[in-house]
Amino acid sequence: MKNLSLFQKAILKAVSVLQLLAGAMIFATAIGVTLNAIVRYGLGRNIAILTEAGGFIFLFVVFSGLAATLIAGSHVSVDILSAIAPKRFVNLMYKFIVPLISMVFVGVVLISGLIMTQRYFIGERVTTGIVPIPLWIIMSIVPIGCLVMELALLSLLIDEVRSRMKDRQSKSG
66, part of any domain: yes
The number of domains in the chain is: 1
- Round to whole Å and give the CA distance between 90 and 94: 6
Q: How confident is the model at residue 74 (pLDDT cuts 50, 70, 90)?
A: low
Residue span of the structural domain in which 156 resides: 6-172
166, part of any domain = yes
Asked whether the beta carbons of 149 and 67 are under 8 A apart, the reply is yes
Whether 146 maps to a domain, the answer reads: yes
* DSSP secondary structure letter of residue 2: P
Average pLDDT value over all residues in the chain? 82
**What pLDDT score was predicted for residue 166?**
86
151 touches 71 (CB < 8 A): no
Residue 1 counted as domain residue? no
Over residues 18-41, mean pLDDT: 84
Q: Which of 52-61, 75-84, 158-167 has the lowest mean pLDDT?
A: 75-84
pTM of the model: 0.70
